[in-house]
């Protein structure tokens, strides 16, 4: 099965589950797949109320603030009611600004991705020639600012004869910007037999008069936004492209030294992929989403509450209703679709009068969503650079210094003081302290050369073990971490480098952990299969050492 077929199969499974509320609206399979790709697990209030009305072809007035998910509230009906074989413009969306026109165009394109929808944004500041070529290629949906739409109408490059859906987005903004006369001119060019959807944060008298004149018995829907406050949560964001996100998250987790973290992803597939990636890097992470049954969900939550796992990777729906004490950090691996969801997510930290930290990983093209959050929440969300490897090492050294200072404050055991005084007679006292720090950092292990396992080819202070399972057994790094940790009762974060080959695997662990693993070798199992495990022989210098 090819990758594209596999992706289609995964998407079909995501949208066919009984827990998908969008399906109950009568939305087609293709659009359901697109919504699953976008991470829409359930409709926002405006979507839940507007989509069924608009799908019936009725006019409506939707009173909703920016950031409530209203673009999908009219974007879904647009895609559903189009003749996807036609080359004429069938739907027109008017927006007050070019920034909003671009944003709406991108979202409707994503909604219509599996319908091969042709969407063209037209706005001032962009070349007419480029827009004319796009229109000539057969646009089905046009999103534009009033002035540029009128220009194309007068040039004869935009024909509205086949338009049967018109959307006025942020109508009150168009009123404030003096576009109402332009809007009326455009509406008069569109066939009278059409559906008109008007969305506005407020409905002042001029907008109400416009609606009475151009809308037919509209359904009026008003969604009152929640009061969004997060007073005790420190919020920040990091810019990271998609292929950089796992590495960026790992460094952020290391430098933050978080006690208990919830990481939010937009889809179940993303949750599984990120959980496996974190486990492979030695983090104690668990996944929770809608595919888990109740017993699995209970087990995952118990391990998280008990501190067995430190990171919970979740979807919004799976995390609903979870009451977890002591969550120090919430991470938006993927940004949610609206500010309310953002606030609900980050509200899971900073409870009971304690401060919390909310971190978002943002692709550079999505920074405008941060600007929207800042406007809605009326605060500034600062940007920080992703920590470098050097930053992480410095943070770890600082933590080590703090642990040593705490130990000094507790009072030094007389026997250890006597050892230090004796060493100070023969060595520099700073060298003695530095050697003690190295021992502390290595958790008291002897240097690798003194390992009771001999030279296994591992990193200093580690032991390299051989397992008789590999790629042919469909083994993953997550399987290794989970199997070894659960069979031996060691923390998954203690497991180091994992090299998986076709029929065998090497895994590196600290020597004290290796003792536990070898003591439990008879009962060790991975993926329900017994495993043969033994110390590895040193690898040849030329052998590959892929990093997992």
Q: What distance lies between CA 537 and its chain's CA centroid?
A: 41
Q: Give tens-digit pLDDT for 208-263.
A: 999 999 999 999 998 765 555 565 788 999 999 888 888 889 889 888 877 789 99
State the CB neighbour count (10 A cutoff) for residue 508: 21
Could you tell me the pTM of the whole model?
0.55
The stretch 53-63 carries a mean pLDDT of 94
Under 8 Å between Cβ of 174 and 168: yes
Q: Which residues contact 85 (CB under 8 A, 6 or more apart)?
A: none
Q: Determine the angle formed by the axes of helices 339-346 and 367-377, rounding to 10 degrees.
A: 80
What values do phi and psi take at 392, rounded to 5?
-65, -45
Q: Give tens-digit pLDDT for 281-310.
A: 778 888 888 788 778 888 888 888 888 888
- Which residues pair with residue 383 across a beta bridge? 237
Report whether pLDDT(316) > 50. yes
Q: Give tens-digit pLDDT for 379-424.
A: 889 999 988 877 877 777 777 777 777 777 777 667 777 777 787 7
Q: Which residues contact 123 (CB under 8 A, 6 or more apart)?
A: 98, 101, 102, 144, 145, 148
CA 306-307-313 angle, to 5 degrees, is 105
Q: Strands 529-530 and 525-526, how do they pair?
A: antiparallel
Spatial separation of the C-alpha atoms in residues 239 and 234, rounded to whole Å: 17
Spatial separation of the C-alpha atoms in residues 470 and 163, rounded to whole Å: 58
**What does each C-alpha distance from 285 to 289, 349, 493, 547 come to in angstroms?**
14, 18, 9, 19
Domains of the chain (ranges; CATH) run 12-222 (3.40.50.300), 233-389 (3.40.50.300), 399-446 (no CATH), 450-535 (3.30.70.330)
């Amino acid at each position: 099965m090819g990758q594209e077929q596999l992706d289609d199969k995964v998407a079909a499974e995501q949208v066919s589950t009984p827990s998908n509320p969008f399906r109950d609206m009568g939305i087609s399979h293709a659009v359901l797949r697109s919504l699953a790709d976008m991470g829409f697990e359930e409709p926002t209030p405006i979507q839940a109320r507007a989509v069924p009305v608009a799908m019936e072809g009725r006019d409506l007035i939707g009173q909703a603030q920016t950031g409530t998910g209203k673009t999908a509230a009219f974007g879904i009906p647009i895609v559903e009611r189009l003749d996807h074989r036609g080359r004429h413009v069938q739907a027109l969306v008017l927006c007050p600004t070019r920034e909003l026109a671009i944003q709406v165009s991108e979202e409707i394109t994503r909604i219509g991705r599996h319908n091969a929808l042709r969407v063209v944004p037209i706005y001032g500041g962009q070349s007419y020639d480029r827009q004319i070529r796009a229109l000539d290629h057969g646009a089905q949906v046009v999103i534009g600012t009033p002035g540029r739409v009128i220009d194309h109408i007068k040039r004869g490059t935009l024909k509205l004869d086949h338009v049967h859906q018109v959307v006025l987005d942020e109508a009150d903004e168009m009123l404030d910007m003096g576009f109402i006369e332009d809007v009326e001119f455009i509406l008069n060019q569109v066939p009278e037999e059409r559906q008109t959807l008007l969305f506005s944060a407020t409905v002042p008298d001029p907008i109400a008069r416009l609606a009475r004149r151009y809308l037919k018995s509209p359904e009026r829907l008003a969604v009152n936004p929640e009061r969004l406050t997060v007073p005790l949560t420190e919020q920040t964001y990091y810019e990271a492209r998609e292929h950089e996100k796992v590495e960026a998250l790992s460094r952020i987790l290391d430098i933050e030294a978080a006690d208990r973290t919830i990481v939010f992803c937009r889809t179940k597939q993303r949750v599984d992929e990120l959980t496996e990636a974190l486990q492979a890097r030695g983090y104690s992470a668990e996944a929770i989403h809608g595919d888990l049954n109740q017993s699995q969900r209970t087990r995952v939550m118990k391990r998280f509450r008990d501190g067995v796992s430190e990171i919970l990777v979740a979807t919004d729906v799976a995390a609903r209703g979870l009451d977890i004490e002591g969550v120090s950090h919430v991470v938006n691996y993927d940004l949610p679709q609206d500010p309310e969801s953002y606030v609900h997510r980050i509200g899971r930290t900073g409870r009971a009068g304690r401060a919390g930290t909310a971190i978002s990983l943002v692709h550079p093209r999505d920074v405008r969503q941060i600007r929207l959050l800042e406007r809605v929440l009326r605060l500034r969300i600062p940007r920080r650079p992703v920590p470098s490897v050097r930053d992480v090492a410095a943070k770890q050294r600082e933590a080590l210094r703090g642990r040593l200072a705490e130990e000094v404050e507790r009072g030094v055991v007389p026997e250890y003081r006597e050892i230090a005084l004796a060493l100070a007679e023969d060595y520099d006292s700073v060298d003695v302290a530095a050697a003690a720090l190295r021992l502390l950092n290595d958790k008291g292990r002897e240097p690798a050369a003194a390992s009771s396992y001999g030279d296994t080819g591992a990193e200093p202070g580690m032991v390299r073990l051989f397992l008789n399972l590999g790629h042919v057994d469909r083994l993953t790094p997550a399987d290794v971490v989970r199997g070894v940790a659960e069979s031996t009762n060691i923390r998954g974060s203690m497991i180091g480098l994992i090299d998986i080959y076709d029929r065998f695997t090497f895994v590196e662990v600290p020597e004290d952990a290796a003792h536990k693993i070898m003591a439990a070798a008879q009962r060790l199992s991975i993926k329900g299969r017994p495993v043969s495990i033994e110390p590895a022989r040193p690898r040849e210098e030329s052998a590959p050492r892929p990093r997992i």
